[in-house]
């Protein structure tokens, strides 16, 4: 963190070169994510974004956007006004925008009625930060809302049949927009070929994989009869009809994904914890990806001097060993904030970092080590380019945020010293020359 002293963080110079990354860029980012009210008519932003992409630094720019989460799917969706009913959603169909940097992750969860889809989904949500969208719950909520589709949905469900895809896809689309997330567990969908094709056509999204809870009818029937949620369709007549519809309409969808190598079949007759254990490895790669993305975002906010993002990503009790602490363990954020603060005094300097040879090691469910070499390019006060290479280890821990959601926080880091390399400067004799690599 302390090399911020020389690299001086975010610079006016970069603000200018990256156009829309003005001094208010963090606000821009937060605005989209927290309030979702960004004005799409903002010409300044549109113009600057396009020139940014076409610039020489497009590579870095794209990386920056991804790292900062600026172009996430949820942001794109939040750009659109949220609609309060399905009727309003009608007017907006097909408007989920997939931005180019980060596509949403969608996992479909299939299985017969009572196979335990909802039960496992709530465990996945708690552990992996997905938004759970149950097609059945959305349809039941639509009935309760008194919408024009209510009676039709109610009758269809009572008959154990499948509601037309047009309605279900719109409800899903609306819920996705409103979630502010870009990781979705979609439960009880697609239930037939029509559902599958409609979702893909309207959203353009393909699932990462599809979980299929394989359970016997006897066991499913037993579970539903004990479910006690007062559902109109949880009676023996409707249950039998639902089983029939499942075999005829939903199993072909399961087969479709099996042929495409996307199916994860789970023996759902076991007990709840056993089933969850076999689901965990499916989500581990997402956790690793997210940790790497968070680490990049952290380095990026250091480079650009965005303390607000740094504070969001780090635990207030962050500990660190870094060359600047001279072998002492630094505790808390004040030591690091100092460098962000003085960064503002050196607006002519700029820097950017890249991660090389990253390795993510999960330690149980709630802790992880991310190790890598960080290559940091910067310019000195006299405009000379320089490259440093640090070996860094960051310890991340998953902790509840103020709203009780589990989020990853950087709780400790360790950074090595770096030999300084100045590619455009003749090596001096003596001490400096030995430092260069």
Ligand X SMILES: Nc1ccn([C@H]2C[C@H](O)[C@@H](COP(=O)(O)OP(=O)(O)O)O2)c(=O)n1
Give the nearer residue to ligand X in terms of CB position, either 133 or 314.
133
Q: Which of 168, 295, 350, 377 binds ligand X (CB under 6 A)?
A: 168
Alpha-carbon distance 3 to 303, whole Å?
10
Residue 247 bridge partners (DSSP)? none
Tokens of 177: 């927009």
Site string for ligand ADP, 20-49 (x = CB under 6 A): ------------------------------
191 binds, options ligand ADP, ligand X, none, Cβ within 5 to 8 A by partner type = ligand X
- Burial degree of 209 (CB within 10 A; 0-12, 13-18, 19+): middle
CA–CA distance from 402 to each of 154, 308, 312, 399, 407 (Å)? 38, 16, 12, 10, 10
Nearer to ligand X by Cβ, of 21 and 167: the residue is 167
Does 162 count as an annotated binding residue? Answer: yes
Of the candidates 20, 29, 1, 28, which has an alpha carbon nearest to the alpha carbon of residue 351?
A: 1
Phi, psi of 253 (to 5 degrees): -70, -40
- Residue 275, binding choice from ligand ADP, ligand X, none, Cβ under 5 to 8 Å by partner class: ligand ADP
289 cis-preceded (ω within 30 degrees of 0): no
Q: How many CB atoms lie within 10 A of CB 219?
A: 15
Q: Would you call 366 helix, strand, or coil by DSSP?
A: coil
Answer yes or no: is 118 a known binding residue: yes
**231 marked as part of a ligand binding site:** yes
Among 1-9, 154-162, 319-327, 398-406, the segment contacting ligand X (CB under 6 A): 154-162
Render 391-417 in DSSP notation, one character per residue.
EEEEEEEEEE-TTS-EEEEEEEEEE--
Pick the binder of ligand ADP from 61, 72, 74, 115 (CB under 6 A).
115
Among 65, 157, 171, 291, indicate the residue that binds ligand X (CB under 6 A).
157
3-class DSSP string for 176-204: HHHHCCCEEEEECCCCCHHHHHHHHHHHC
Start-to-end CA distance of the chain, whole Å, equals: 21
176 binds, among ligand ADP, ligand X, none (CB under 5 to 8 A by kind): none
Residues of span 302-331 touching ligand ADP by CB under 6 A: none
Subset of 260-299 contacting ligand ADP (CB under 6 A)? 271-272, 275
Binding mask 365-404 for ligand X (x = CB under 6 A): ----------------------------------------
User: How many other C-beta atoms lie within 10 A of the C-beta of residue 400?
Assistant: 9
Q: Which of 19, 69, 113, 207 binds ligand ADP (CB under 6 A)?
A: 113
- Find out whether 116 is annotated in a ligand binding site: yes
| Shortest reach from residue 21's CB to ligand ADP, in Å | 45
Which of these ranges, 29-37, 131-139, 264-272, 388-396, lies near ligand X under the rule CB under 6 A? Answer: 131-139
- Residue among 237, 313, 253, 7 at smallest CA distance from 111: 253
260 in a labelled binding site? no
- Does 117 count as an annotated binding residue? yes
Alpha carbon separation from 389 to 351, 376, 392 (Å, rounded): 13, 6, 9
User: Is there a contact between 407 and 432 (Cβ–Cβ < 8 Å)?
Assistant: no
Return the structure tokens found at 125: 């949500």
- Residues 140 and 150: their CA atoms lie apart, in Å, by 8
- If the CB atoms of residues 11 and 154 are measured against ligand X, the closer one turns out to be 154
Minimum separation from the CB atom of position 363 to ligand X (A): 36
Q: Tell me the C-alpha distance between 386 and 422, whole Å.
A: 4
- The answer to whether 306 and 25 are in contact (CB under 8 A) is yes
The footprint of ligand ADP on this chain (CB under 6 A) covers a number of residues equal to: 14
Could you tell which of ligand X, ligand ADP, none binds residue 233, using a CB distance below 5 to 8 A set by kind? Answer: ligand X
Would you say how long the chain is, in residues? 437
Question: Which of ligand X, ligand ADP, none is residue 116 near (CB under 5 to 8 Å by kind)?
Answer: ligand ADP
| Position among 104, 113, 116, 305 found at the interface with ligand X (CB under 6 A) | 113
Among 10, 14, 177, 191, which residue interacts with ligand X (rule: CB under 6 A)? 191
CB 242, min distance to ligand ADP, A: 9
Residue 116 binds ligand X (CB under 6 A): no
Query: Choosing among ligand ADP, ligand X, none, which partner's interface includes residue 163 (Cβ < 5 to 8 Å by kind)?
Result: ligand X
Point out which residues bind ligand ADP (CB under 6 A). 111, 113-119, 223, 226-227, 271-272, 275
Q: Where on the chain is the footprint of ligand X (CB under 6 A)?
A: 113-114, 117, 134-136, 139, 157, 160, 162-163, 168, 188-189, 191, 195, 233, 242
């Amino acid at each position: 963190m302390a090399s911020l002293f020389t690299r001086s963080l975010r610079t006016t110079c970069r603000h200018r070169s990256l156009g829309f990354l003005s001094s208010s860029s963090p606000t821009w980012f937060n605005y989209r994510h927290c309030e979702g009210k960004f004005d799409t008519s903002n010409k300044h932003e549109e113009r600057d974004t396009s020139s940014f992409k076409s610039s020489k630094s497009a590579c870095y720019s794209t990386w920056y956007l991804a790292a900062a989460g600026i172009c996430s799917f949820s942001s794109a969706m939040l750009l659109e006004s949220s609609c309060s009913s399905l009727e309003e959603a009608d007017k907006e169909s097909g408007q989920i925008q997939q931005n180019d940097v980060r596509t949403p992750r969608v996992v479909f969860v299939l299985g017969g009625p009572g196979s335990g889809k909802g039960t496992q989904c709530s465990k996945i949500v708690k552990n992996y930060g997905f938004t759970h969208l149950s097609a059945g719950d959305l349809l039941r909520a639509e009935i309760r809302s008194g919408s024009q589709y209510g009676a039709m949905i109610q009758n269809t469900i009572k008959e154990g049949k499948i509601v037309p895809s047009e309605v279900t896809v719109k409800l899903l689309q609306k819920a996705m927009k409103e979630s502010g997330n870009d990781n979705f567990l979609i439960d009880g969908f697609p239930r037939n070929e029509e559902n599958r094709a409609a979702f893909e056509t309207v959203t353009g999204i393909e699932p990462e994989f599809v979980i299929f809870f394989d359970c016997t009818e006897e066991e499913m029937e037993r579970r539903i009869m004990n479910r006690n949620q007062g559902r109109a369709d949880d009676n023996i007549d409707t249950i039998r009809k639902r089983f029939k519809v499942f075999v005829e309409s939903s199993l072909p969808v399961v087969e479709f994904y099996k042929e495409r190598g996307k199916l994860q079949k789970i023996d759902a007759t076991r007990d709840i914890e056993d089933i969850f254990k076999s689901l965990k490895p499916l989500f581990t790669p997402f956790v690793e990806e997210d940790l790497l993305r968070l680490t990049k975002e952290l380095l990026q906010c250091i480079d650009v001097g965005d303390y607000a993002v740094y504070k969001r990503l780090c635990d207030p009790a962050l500990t660190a060993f870094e060359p600047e602490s001279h072998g002492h363990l630094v505790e808390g954020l004040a030591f690091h904030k100092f460098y962000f603060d003085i960064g503002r005094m050196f607006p002519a300097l700029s820097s950017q970092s890249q991660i090389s040879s990253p390795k993510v090691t999960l330690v149980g469910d709630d802790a992880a080590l991310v190790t890598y070499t960080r290559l940091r390019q910067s310019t000195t006060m006299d405009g000379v380019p320089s490259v440093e290479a640090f070996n860094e280890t960051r310890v991340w821990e998953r902790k509840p945020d103020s709203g009780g959601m589990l989020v990853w926080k950087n709780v400790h880091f360790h950074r090595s010293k770096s030999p300084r390399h100045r590619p455009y400067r003749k090596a001096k004799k003596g001490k400096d020359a030995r430092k260069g690599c």
